[in-house]
Structure 1
Amino acid sequence: TKLRANYRHRLLSLCSEVSLASESKSGGNGADLLGPLLPAVAEICSDFDPTSNVEPSLLKLFRNLWFYIALFGLAPPLPEVKTISNSVNGAGRISTLSLQAVGGPYMWNIQWALAVQRISQGTPPLVASSVKWLEDELELNALHNSDTFRGTGNKKVASTQRTALSIALGGRVDLSAMKTISGAKATYLLAVALLEVIRFVSNGGILNGGSSVSASRSAFSCVFNYLKSPNLTPAVSQCLTATVHRAFEAAVSWLEDHISLTGKDASIRESTMYAHACFLIKNMSQRDEHIRNISVNLLIQIRDKFPQVLWSSSCLDSLLFSVHDNARSLVVNETACAAAIRSLYQKVVREWIIISLSYAPCTSQGLLQDKLCKANTLQRSSTT
């Protein structure tokens, strides 16, 4: 394990160095040099748990890798990309690798695209609330040896990168709202969007880290991390919020595309669906109201699109017991927050029960009776 960790660090370092050098020599196109390294990166990251505590130096290397994947157009095109506004159409006439990567067709070896998908399952979120360099302008600009983001071409390149980002986000953030975002920052945000959407495109959004599928392995645990960063500017916050919704679209699309599966594959699909629903249920207890609101909104969409979650034992457990489990983490002076969270859970539980009873009264009553017995047992044990 230590040997693999050392090799992983060295290989990711090599990717950064090769990309930086090639970006200088070839005028911004280092795909021919970085691309062949991607299958090896995918293999060495195949057993890496992205939810574990990651050293800042390693996290920085992952950030660099995805920055260059976005810059060189090495990511597979995002599904159902639509050009929304006239401003996007106008800027989209500038032919760049980033724009090509978002909309396709894919320009490189298909094995590289498959490797990028595998890498996404083992990449930690490209953010750290206590470490500013992950999205620091100087750090991001330092990833370039050329004048790509500096000098006379800066405005044109920045405009193009913002266009690619807007398209990647499905037009949810208008270009006019991105005018304060630099070209380098736009590339970083594009890398984030590509990574977080590709996680769901590749296998439905289940991360490396174990054989069982649970809420902790839902890729939503990564994409929501960005919204927890302090002091986000309005433009960046908008982009990161849009990334969450874009990732959710990819998750729903994957679940719908695999609806006809049978046997073990169908079981994996259901487990994936329940894992995402359970994560969103637990995420409703976050202190940040914005995160709570997004979580409940996405949960309701999953519930309405895939009603079988109503009778999932794991989902119902999460719904009935999450508010109690998470209340312990709130400090005494957060009574208002705790009350808001409790009220939200009560509302969602009430709707959940009403809808499930309307669909299948006998099944729902039996399941609820079982859960109430469990709740009573837990309550008795906690008082003794």
Structure 2
Amino acid sequence: MRLSADAPVSWPSGPAWDAWWQHETRHLPTSTTDEQGYVDGLEDELPPGTRLRLTAGEHLRAGALYEAEMSGVTTVAAAGGIGGPDDRRLVHAQLRHLADERRVVVDLDGLDGLRSLRASSDLQHLAFDVSASTSSTAPFDVELRLDWLRVHLSAAVEQRGADAHLVVTGTMRGRGRWRPVLAPFLAAAGSFAAKGLRSSVEDAAAWLSSLEGDPTGERRPNPEQARTHRARTAAAIMSARATTVADQMAAGHWWRRRNPQHWLRALHDLPEPDWPRAEELDDWESREQDLLRLYATRHRRSDPPRWVGDELLRRHAAQQEALERSRAAAEVTTPAPAPLTDASFDLAWLVTPWSMIRRSRDLGSDAEAEAALRADLQDGPT
């Protein structure tokens, strides 16, 4: 499966990246070490039960070495250090699996101004290579390799006329014996994957563009406001198109107005509108057809054609209220983060696609997992 998406972007300048990075690392300069070398002041940045200990050198200076102590974890070890000159400190960190010496390695350039990040893993069941940069020439390249799936995504900033665009391309395919098994599922999931990638790229481009005017990074694009803006734009388009169709129906024979199929044919004959970006829940064309059919059947005698757009906004508001209630309930019921344990690093659930679905859905068998995936692809993801 090939994937592609793009969105307009205003790439942040070097000073904007620097200001954002200073904000993100603002807790580091005030952190200290106690007599035993344990780092104080970063507790909120680490998982519960995890402490960072300085084992060599001076805290936050080139030459410093650290170990992470994770209470209750016996299968992995984590360590890192700072290299480079003091005015361009580089960070190297690794997570090592003690049984087979497989590891995750991260290299960051650097503490004094973010320039690039590289990460790789050769862990059993989870391998990846990641490179990211603050330069617009090579924003990121990611390859994920599971036992049964390979995903590769890369980004570039392309100039198109007067505008720059963040362009992400990639592939997703099965591996080994899973390739023929997954081929029909990946083909069926193509539209969902395309919508998901497009939404992610547009959100990333909006965030990148915001850094220049908000270099602290404290403000983020508000997805609810953006979603409401898209709904209002779509509603205005639907109301105008419904009015055009109603005028055509009024000018024709009376019996045509009684059949909603004639309304839908007239709608289909109108020029294709410039819909706002659609997400999984925002298939504007289908929603417009459903609402116009409902208007022609039940509301044309009592309401003006703008009812179509007004009803879209009413449903959108109800949906947003439901999301707010769900979010509020989640905030009440979500427990505090649990300390890391050996189970946190057990990746056996990644062995097959069915084991992943079993874990996420709390299902008991591969057959149930496969049935759940088929239902998602038929009805839309839950």
Larger Rg: 2
Which fold has the larger relative contact order, with Cα–Cα distance below 8 Å and residues 6 or more apart in sequence? 2
**TM-score, normalization by structure 2:** 0.25
TM-score, normalisation: structure 1:
0.25
Bigger share in strand? 2
- The structure richer in helix per residue is 1
